[in-house]
Amino acid sequence: MMSILSFLLGEKKKTASVAKERLQIILAHERSGRSAATPDYLPALQRDLVAVISKYVKIDPAHLKVHLERQDNLEVLDIKIELPEAAR
């Protein structure tokens, strides 16, 4: 019964799954065409990550770093977040 109601009323997706879908779309878009040295979406991605993480833990935006490395056909998105002592 709940699944029918969820289907009819529309169920909100979890934040993590929405973020994962967005990252997949961004990476697929970047791979499909442009090969810029620094992708233009990284600053927006960093702002979005700070906003989402700040819902749960108070962080300084300067302590979140997003970096994309390219090696041959492989792209690695490296995200480093420094959490405050109280959050650990």
Report which secondary-structure segment, H or E, holds 52.
Answer: helix 42-54
Dihedral sign of CA atoms 40, 44, 47, 49 in order: negative
Query: In the numeric block, which tokens belong to residue 29?
Result: 């878009």
Identity (one letter) of the amino acid at 25?
Answer: I
pLDDT of residue 7: 54
Partner residues linked to 73 by β-bridges: none
pLDDT digits (tens, 9 = 90+) for 23-52: 877 777 666 655 555 567 888 888 888 888
The residue behind tokens 């997003």 is 66
Q: Which residue's structure tokens are 């993590």? A: 16
